[in-house]
């Protein structure tokens, strides 16, 4: 069967297939990019925020990059957990791995719609594809012994302790605002769909992947089967793994601030313009970039550079264009 599709040719977005030699950028954005301060996360809000973000990202496309976009899902999966908790009907609650998959679908759709609309407006012929992504973690990752990541709604102490008893949840009082469930945050080991993602990017398609840090799965040691686990993976660490697996030239983390700072909000605050791998490792050793702040992002960048990556960049969406010109952001340089 070789007939052509029956719709008008002008409607078809054919890719520019001369794209195989473009450099590839993996760009990680936080889930908060789509639900901003004071917003509850309606569809209109998330679509609007996605549209603004994609307006910045298009600059990378126009500069000839192949693009993989990864994203967090903290507030989105928080909303789904709240729905599971407060749904009064007979709908079975889904485990966390399935909820992550749901946010990959919904945020993937919202983002690909926004990207396609920007591409159409500029008459750029590129395909956009969202890949539901599983990420393998080690079943014996120490994180499983010590869950640290608070997720879902705030609960009363009574409810929290009942859940702990009923479902084996880890719970903890959280900063005076109530009790929350804690889940493990194991290290990502590999992205199951890395080959498909790499193939699509090499074809010039824009790929959305690893939403929420990926759906965490383990290999069951007895059966050899993949099994979902109730955990969350840091999206920057997963993006770093993917960037290495597909051989990305540049790894970009978009965050809330235009640059990485030393002594952030302190008397000696200093923005970092460009640093080598050796410099950033020395700063880390001196205690800069604590875990609750830039720590995981710097770790993700260091992993990428140690793994052979050329360059990484941390900045905010608004500064991205200037950063591409070397006029903004914090640039991390690895091997030549």
DSSP output for 94-121:
PPHHHHHHHHHHHHHHHHHHHHHHHHHH
Q: Quick one: 108 or 184, whose CB is closer to its own copies?
A: 108
Under DSSP, the state recorded for 40 is -
Of the candidates 26, 193, 56, 47, the residue with the CA atom closest to the CA atom of residue 107: 47
Per DSSP, the three-state class of 220 is coil
Burial status of residue 41 (CB atoms within 10 A of its CB: 0-12, 13-18, 19 or more): middle
278 counts as binding its own copies under rule CB under 8 A: no
Per DSSP, the three-state class of 45 is helix
Of the candidates 22, 187, 32, 206, the residue with the CA atom closest to the CA atom of residue 114: 206
Residues of span 145-164 touching its own copies by CB under 8 A: 153
168 counts as binding its own copies under rule CB under 8 A: no
Q: Quick one: 221 or 291, whose CB is closer to its own copies?
A: 221
Considering the complex, what minimum distance in angstroms separates the CB of residue 57 from its own copies?
17
How many residues touch its own copies (CB under 8 A)? Answer: 82
CA 280, chain centre distance (Å) = 22
Per DSSP, the three-state class of 203 is coil
The encoded tokens of residue 103 equal 């946010």
DSSP output for 311-323:
EEEEE-GGGHHHH
28: left (phi over 0), alpha (psi -120 to 50) or beta: beta
248 counts as binding its own copies under rule CB under 8 A: yes
94 counts as binding its own copies under rule CB under 8 A: yes
Residues of span 201-230 touching its own copies by CB under 8 A: 203, 205, 208, 215, 217, 224-228
The encoded tokens of residue 336 equal 């030549």
Given 140, 199, 263, 279, the residue binding its own copies (CB under 8 A): 199
Using alpha carbons only, what angle is made at residue 106 by residues 101 and 109, rounded to the nearest 5 degrees?
Answer: 120
Q: Quick one: 50 or 253, whose CB is closer to its own copies?
A: 50
138 counts as binding its own copies under rule CB under 8 A: no
178 counts as binding its own copies under rule CB under 8 A: no
247 counts as binding its own copies under rule CB under 8 A: yes
52 counts as binding its own copies under rule CB under 8 A: no
Contact 204, 16 (CB under 8 A): yes
Considering the complex, what minimum distance in angstroms separates the CB of residue 229 from its own copies?
12
Q: Quick one: 208 or 277, whose CB is closer to its own copies?
A: 208
Considering the complex, what minimum distance in angstroms separates the CB of residue 148 from its own copies?
24
236 counts as binding its own copies under rule CB under 8 A: no
Burial status of residue 146 (CB atoms within 10 A of its CB: 0-12, 13-18, 19 or more): exposed
Considering the complex, what minimum distance in angstroms separates the CB of residue 293 from its own copies?
27
Given 9, 10, 11, 18, the residue binding its own copies (CB under 8 A): 11
Considering the complex, what minimum distance in angstroms separates the CB of residue 259 from its own copies?
24
Q: Quick one: 121 or 165, whose CB is closer to its own copies?
A: 121
Considering the complex, what minimum distance in angstroms separates the CB of residue 274 from its own copies?
19
Considering the complex, what minimum distance in angstroms separates the CB of residue 83 from its own copies?
5
Considering the complex, what minimum distance in angstroms separates the CB of residue 38 from its own copies?
13
């Amino acid at each position: 069967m070789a007939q052509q599709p029956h719709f008008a040719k002008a409607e078809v977005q054919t890719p520019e297939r001369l794209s195989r030699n473009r450099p590839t950028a993996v760009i990680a954005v936080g889930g908060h990019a789509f639900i901003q301060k004071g917003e509850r996360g309606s569809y209109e809000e998330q679509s609007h925020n996605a549209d603004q973000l994609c307006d910045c990202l298009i600059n990378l496309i126009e500069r000839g990059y192949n693009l993989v976009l990864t994203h967090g899902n903290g507030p989105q999966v928080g909303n789904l957990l709240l729905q599971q908790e407060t749904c009064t009907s007979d709908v079975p609650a889904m485990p966390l791995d399935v909820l992550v998959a749901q946010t990959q679908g919904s945020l993937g759709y919202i983002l690909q719609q926004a990207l396609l609309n920007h591409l159409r407006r500029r008459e750029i012929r590129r395909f956009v594809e969202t890949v539901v992504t599983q990420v393998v973690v080690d079943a014996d990752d120490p994180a499983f012994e010590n869950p640290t990541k608070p997720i879902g709604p705030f609960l009363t102490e009574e409810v929290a302790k009942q859940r702990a008893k009923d479902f084996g949840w880890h719970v903890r009082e959280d900063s005076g605002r109530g009790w929350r469930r804690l889940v493990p945050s194991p290290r990502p080991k590999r992205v199951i769909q890395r080959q498909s993602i790499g193939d699509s990017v090499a074809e010039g398609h824009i790929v959305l992947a690893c939403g929420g840090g990926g759906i965490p799965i383990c290999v069951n040691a007895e059966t050899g089967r993949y099994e979902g686990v109730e955990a969350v993976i840091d999206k920057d660490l997963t993006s770093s793994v993917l960037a290495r697996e597909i051989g990305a030239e540049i790894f970009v983390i978009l965050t809330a601030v235009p640059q990485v700072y030393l002594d952030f909000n302190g008397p000696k605050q200093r923005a970092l313009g460009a640093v080598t791998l050796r410099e950033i490792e020395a700063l880390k050793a001196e205690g800069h970039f604590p875990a609750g702040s830039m720590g995981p992002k710097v770790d993700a960048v260091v992993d990428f550079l140690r793994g052979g990556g050329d360059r990484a960049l941390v900045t905010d969406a608004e500064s991205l264009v200037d950063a591409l010109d070397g006029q903004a952001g914090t640039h991390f340089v690895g091997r030549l």
